[in-house]
Amino acid sequence: MSLEKIHTRLSARPELTPIVDDFLDRYEQVEKINAQRHPDTKPIGFLQQFAYRPFSVLHRTLSAEYMATDLDFVEWRKGKGVVGFIEVKEEGSLGWWQETVHRRVSGGLNAPLYFIRHNRELTKFDVYDIIDNKDDPLYWRVSQRKILDFIEGLGSR
């Protein structure tokens, strides 16, 4: 569904105007950031980078009782299956209900859950082991090379 069609559908729900306006503001901000980060390449539209965003806006037309979240990475290894779940953010933290949903998914598949926060330059990573230390998540700061080693090592522990 195109952004225009979503906007038309949402226009019929005036109570959602602030959500739509916020989405469009964020869309413009991300487009500017993308152009700054990748000045030598053809800009890739926000909606092409994050195809689920229009669906997210559409989903918000439902009542507040219908909550949804995504999970950024399901780490899979040949012969082992799912070896971990990773939620990633450039800033901020994991919301309590989002963490609850992620815990249930990872617990149901008996796989670890990690929350990784990184800086904009992708040089520093804060890694939180959510499942093994649910009351006080284990935390460590690593470099780009170490985060790649960590991801490669999932499933071998």
Residue 6 burial by Cβ neighbours in a 10 Å radius (0-12, 13-18, 19+): buried
Domain residue limits at 25: 3-59
Are the beta carbons of 143 and 121 closer than 8 angstroms?
A: no
Tell me the per-residue pLDDT of 122-132, one tens digit each, with 9 for 90 and over: 888 999 888 76
The verdict on residue 66 lying in a domain is no
Per-residue pLDDT, 48:
46
pLDDT at residue 46 tops 60: no
Q: Is residue 122 part of a domain?
A: yes
Residue 65 domain-assigned? no
% the chain with pLDDT above 90 = 21
pLDDT tens digits, 2-35? 556 666 666 677 776 776 677 666 666 666 665 6
Instruction: Give yes or no for residue 136 having a pLDDT over 70.
Output: no
Number of domains in the chain: 2
Same domain (yes/no): 84, 47: no
Residue-wise pLDDT for 89-118, tens only, equals 887 777 788 888 888 888 888 899 999 998
End-to-end alpha-carbon separation of the chain, Å?
A: 43
- Report how far residue 47's alpha carbon sits from residue 37's, in angstroms, rounded to the nearest whole number: 17
Q: What contacts 15, CB < 8 A, 6 or more positions away?
A: none
| pLDDT at residue 77, rounded to an integer | 94
- For residue 48, is it within any domain? yes
Give the model's confidence band at 49: pLDDT under 50 very low, under 70 low, under 90 confident, else very high.
very low
Look at residue 22 and tell me if it is in a domain.
yes
Residue 106 CB-density burial (10 A; 0-12 exposed, 13-18 middle, 19+ buried):
buried
Whole-model pTM above 0.75?
A: no
Do 90 and 28 belong to one domain? no
Q: Encoding tokens for residue 68?
A: 């949804």
State residue 51's pLDDT score: 47
β-strand partners of 142: 125
Both 42 and 100 in one domain: the answer is no
**Who wins on pLDDT, 113 or 137?**
113
In a domain, 68, yes or no: no
